[in-house]
């Protein structure tokens, strides 16, 4: 599961605005802050617990999520925001936006429950249980409130908030941040609302723009789904590459996807099965050469080659040097100029310096 890079950008801006030592935080994380400007950045959700663990350690603040909230910029969800503006009512905007919530996060589930005076939004995060994720949930609830207020031209006000986490700071701090009564240790995060707000009519409603915004949302969602497919293919590579022949038909069967469909989706993503396999082999070879003392004869088979000569020719074509030269250069502490981005270990690469 992955989150939109926008969430990390919001957290970064909040830390800067709050005057935190962001350099110390990113050094501890091993994260290259330049990645924040990367287009279409998506980060592994399971690394959020590690992120908050480091932020807690650097700041010494066990309720840092709450204390960051007033410093966070308003979430600008681009197409999500456009869907609200171009929908006739706030209710319609909610229902449309929730269809495309994956554009924000794979791990976040939000439901609108209409129940009279108990009407509310329910926000549920990933199943991962880690105490540090309280900060994510607090910040997401806060941002949801501010976002809703923004798209309704300051008409939105929460009646009360219920949080899954325990209370760590004074109750008055929570209620000042959220602008309403706050309860703790609930089964799920909930934001109670005035049901009349659901009928709020957007002054920017435009059916033509709405159609365009939905088409854009569908296009972006399809792009994310294709990237997910690529990650699944790489996962299959990591399991099967050294064990047996790994061709498109093998991987398609593993993924329960027709081979023709798999080929089509990869073409739409601007790549091909052979390119993905080549990139994966190159990345794996580099990783084994620089990080292990594995004999090159073993690396040949670990990367799915049947003959050393084939591996040597391929590596020279990829990098412009032989495997021996690459290993010696890495041991000497030099960075090969031709080294490409490493897709191996994709779940952790988002928090590593490139």
Tokens coding 84: 């609200």
> What is the 8-class DSSP label of residue 39?
T
C-alpha–C-alpha distance, residues 16 and 317, integer Å: 44
pTM metric for this prediction:
0.79
Domain ranges of the chain: 2-199, 215-349
Distances (CA, A) of 308 to 240, 241, 247, 283, 325: 19, 16, 20, 17, 15
- The architecture (CATH level 2) of 215-349 comes to Orthogonal Bundle (1.10)
Strand segments (E) across 48-186: 109-113, 120-124, 160-162, 182-183
- Tell me which long-range contacts 326-331 makes (C-beta under 8 A, separation of at least 24): 326/286, 326/289, 326/290, 327/289, 327/290, 327/296, 330/289, 330/290
Pick from 194, 167, 193: nearest CA to 182: 167
- Find residue 122's DSSP bridge partners: 111, 190
- Provide the pLDDT for residue 107: 85
342: Cβ contacts below 8 Å, ≥ 6 apart: 283, 286, 287, 349
* Helix/strand/coil percentages in the chain, nearest 5: 60, 10, 35
Topology (CATH level 3) of domain 2-199: H-NOX domain (3.90.1520)
**pLDDT tens for the chain, residues 1 to 354:** 788 888 889 999 999 999 999 999 999 998 888 888 777 788 888 888 999 999 999 999 999 999 999 999 999 877 999 999 999 999 999 999 999 999 998 888 999 999 999 999 999 876 557 788 999 999 999 999 999 999 999 999 999 999 999 999 999 999 999 999 999 999 999 999 999 999 999 999 999 999 999 999 999 999 899 988 998 999 999 888 766 568 899 899 999 999 999 999 999 989 999 999 999 999 999 999 999 999 999 999 889 888 899 999 999 999 999 999 999 998 887 544 443 334 444 333 333 333
Q: Same CATH fold, 215-349 and 2-199?
A: no
**Rounded to whole angstroms, how far apart are CA atoms 287 and 84?**
46
Question: Looking at residue 334, what is its pLDDT?
Answer: 54
Cβ burial, residue 223 (10 Å; 0-12/13-18/19+): middle
Q: What is the pLDDT of residue 242?
A: 67
Instruction: Quote the crossing angle between the two packed helices 133-151 and 79-86, to the nearest 10°.
Output: 40
Measured CA to CA, the distance from residue 294 to residue 354 in angstroms comes to: 23
What is the rounded CA–CA span in Å between residue 237 and residue 79? 34
């Amino acid at each position: 599961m992955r989150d939109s890079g926008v969430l990390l950008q919001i957290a970064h801006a909040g830390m800067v605005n709050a005057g935190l030592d962001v350099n110390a935080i990113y050094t501890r994380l091993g994260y290259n802050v330049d990645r924040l400007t990367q287009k279409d950045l998506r980060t592994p959700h399971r690394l959020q617990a590690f992120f908050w663990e480091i932020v807690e350690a650097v700041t010494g603040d066990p309720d840092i999520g709450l204390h960051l909230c007033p410093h966070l910029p308003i979430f600008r969800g681009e197409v999500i925001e456009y869907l609200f503006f171009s929908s006739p009512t706030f209710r319609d905007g909610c229902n449309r936006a929730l269809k495309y919530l994956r554009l924000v996060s794979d791990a976040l589930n939000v439901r609108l429950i209409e129940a009279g005076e108990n009407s509310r939004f329910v926000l549920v995060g990933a199943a991962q249980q880690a105490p540090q994720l309280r900060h994510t949930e607090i910040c997401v609830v806060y941002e949801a409130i501010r976002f809703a207020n923004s798209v309704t031209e300051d008409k939105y006000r929460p009646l009360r908030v219920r949080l899954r986490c325990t209370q760590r700071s004074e109750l008055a701090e929570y209620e000042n941040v959220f602008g309403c009564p706050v309860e703790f240790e609930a089964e799920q995060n909930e934001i109670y609302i005035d049901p009349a707000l659901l009928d709020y009519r957007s002054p920017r409603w435009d059916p033509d723009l709405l159609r365009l915004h939905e088409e854009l949302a569908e296009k972006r969602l399809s792009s994310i789904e294709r990237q997910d497919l690529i990650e699944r293919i790489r996962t299959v590579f990591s399991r099967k590459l050294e064990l047996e022949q790994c061709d498109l038909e093998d991987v398609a069967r593993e993924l329960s996807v027709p081979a023709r469909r798999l080929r089509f989706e990869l073409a739409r993503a601007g790549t091909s099965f052979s390119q993905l396999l080549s990139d994966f082999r190159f990345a794996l070879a580099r990783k084994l050469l620089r990080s292990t003392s594995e004999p090159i004869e073993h690396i040949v088979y670990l990367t799915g080659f049947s003959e050393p000569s084939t591996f040597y020719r391929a590596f020279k074509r990829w990098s412009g040097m032989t495997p021996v030269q690459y290993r010696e250069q890495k041991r000497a502490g030099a960075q090969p100029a031709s080294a490409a981005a490493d897709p191996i270990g994709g779940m952790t690469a988002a928090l590593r310096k490139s």
